[in-house]
Amino acid sequence: MTSFPSTIVEAGAALRAGELTSVELIRTVLARADKIDADLGCFLARFDDDALSAAATADAELAAGTDRGPLHGIPLGIKDLLAAREGPTTAHSLVPSRVAPPGVDAEAVARLRDRGAVIVGKTSLSEYALGAPDPDAGLPLPRNPWDREHWPGGSSSGTASGLAAGLFLGGLGTDTGGSIRIPAACCGITGLKPTYGRVSKSRCIPLAYSLDTVGPMARTAEDCAVLLQVISGQASNDATSADEPVPNYISALTGDLSGVRVGVERVHHGTQVGADPEVVARVEEAVKDLERAGAIVEEITIEHRQIADAATRVIMHTEAFTQHRPTLRDRWHDYGPFTRLLLTHGAFLSASDYVQAQRVRSLVRAEVKQLLKRVDVIVTPTVGVPAPRLDADFVALMPLFFTGVWNLTGNPALSLPVGPVRGLPVGMQIVGRPFAEATVLRVGDAYQRRTDWHRRRPEERDDARSDAPDHA
């Protein structure tokens, strides 16, 4: 091979062509982690011996003609909210969790492993998927590989950072208010929050049960489709998983958007709400690329957009406080200060607040349903600013995370990179109808066939627009 593969699809082709073995692949990513992860903070636990053993098994199976599919022999990182049989699930906290007995996988992890994927480790996150970076906790501090003084996004920090840095080729995150899409935007990778119920949450530590989702993270929409194909579908041990047919996501990636209707929401996502004008400009340029691929673009407005954010926060904080109330009482000082602050917001919300938030949820769902009769997808920025510094005021930045409304409604939403702003990646968000992940991924893949932002690596930082891909 002329270069080391950077995507799942490329690595799979190399494995089947005999240009690379899974053992070589795993050794390479582990060696890279040895070199940079002490500074980057992507891993909470590494499973080097188990990963190399699984890779050797994958090589032997492929040599014998047993092919488990596109993930066979591929290294993946798993957010440490999801159980993996190699070790405990910590949620990046000093407060112990009992999400699963030892030696048991989360449903999504088990499905990946059954298809031959190699789990190289558990990745770092915001504490219990809610806190901010806490340098005093004595745990790894996740950093952005594009600039280590900046946040990699949260809460699925380590999965996004590790993908960008080349420590694995795909992974799993969770998303309650943007926790897959925000780090995807901050780190310049691709991440999908599926429809609520599309992927089982079995043996995943909950944050807010009516908002939580598990989803794929990778360099490309195509790789996310490969991962989603495996982890989707109803699970008997998860009452929230949906009994919906799982289409062929990969075959939907045609590269052609002829006739696809794209609604661009500008009113609540532009400079009038504090978004960086350069971020908005990057997204607008990406929208032009969608038009060049055949899409029909029109402007839309989500009338109740701002109250939707408030309702999302009320539901999240109420459900999270309910989940953590016993351990907050008994282990208060073991939680990080920012995590304690956010969790205890729920103590000041009433049953009436929660009911009113659910009423708003019904209102916004109905509004979005009507909009998605006019258009096939809705496009917005993912985050209104590039990745903030680690010492930023994260509470003040929350209005610029344009993600939580889609947890409120349950719609699928994809973030993918659309170029740098001041040396840091920024993302575009593509939202679809419930269980229409195939359409969302098709739009994302068509954009990525015309651009190469998803292939840029941290060592290739460049703000010059003259270096942008040819859009002709």
- Which H/E stretch holds residue 213? strand 213-218
User: Which one from 179, 200, 241, 415 is the annotated catalytic residue?
Assistant: 179
For residue 3, indicate whether it is catalytic.
no
User: Which one from 155, 200, 241, 415 is the annotated catalytic residue?
Assistant: 155
Q: How does strand 43-46 pair with strand 261-265?
A: unpaired
For the chain, give the mean pLDDT. 94
* Residue 3 covered by a domain: no
Per-residue pLDDT at 451: 98
* Residue 2 covered by a domain: no
Per-residue pLDDT at 464: 36
* Residue 317 covered by a domain: yes
User: Which one from 79, 122, 193, 201 is the annotated catalytic residue?
Assistant: 79
Amino acid at 356: Q
Per-residue pLDDT at 187: 98
Q: Is 344 exposed, middle or buried (0-12, 13-18, 19+ CB in 10 A)?
A: middle
For residue 201, indicate whether it is catalytic.
no
For residue 22, indicate whether it is catalytic.
no
pLDDT (tens digit per residue) in 125-137: 999 999 777 788 8
* Residue 472 covered by a domain: no
pLDDT (tens digit per residue) in 210-225: 999 999 999 999 999 9
Per-residue pLDDT at 42: 98
Is the pLDDT reported for residue 144 higher than 60?
yes
* Residue 250 covered by a domain: yes
Q: How far from 371 is each of 177, 364, 368, CA to CA, in Å?
A: 21, 10, 5
Per-residue pLDDT at 465: 34
Per-residue pLDDT at 101: 84
Is the pLDDT reported for residue 65 higher than 90?
yes
Per-residue pLDDT at 469: 37
Per-residue pLDDT at 137: 82
Q: Residue 95 sits in which domain range?
A: 8-460
* Residue 465 covered by a domain: no
Both tokens of residue 393? 């005021």
* Residue 422 covered by a domain: yes
How far apart, in Å, do the first and last CA atoms of the chain sit?
30
Averaged pLDDT for residues 101-111: 95
Q: How many domains does the chain have?
A: 1
* Residue 278 covered by a domain: yes
Averaged pLDDT for residues 331-342: 93
Per-residue pLDDT at 273: 78
Preceding omega of 155 cis (within 30 degrees of 0):
yes
The CATH number for 143's domain is: 3.90.1300.10
* Nearest one of 168, 171, 145 to 156, comparing CA atoms: 171
Both tokens of residue 333? 């000082």
* Nearest one of 76, 407, 373 to 219, comparing CA atoms: 76
Instruction: Tell me the pLDDT band of 272, cut-offs 50, 70 and 90.
Output: low
pLDDT (tens digit per residue) in 443-456: 999 999 999 999 99
Residue with tokens 């010059």: 464
Averaged pLDDT for residues 144-154: 97
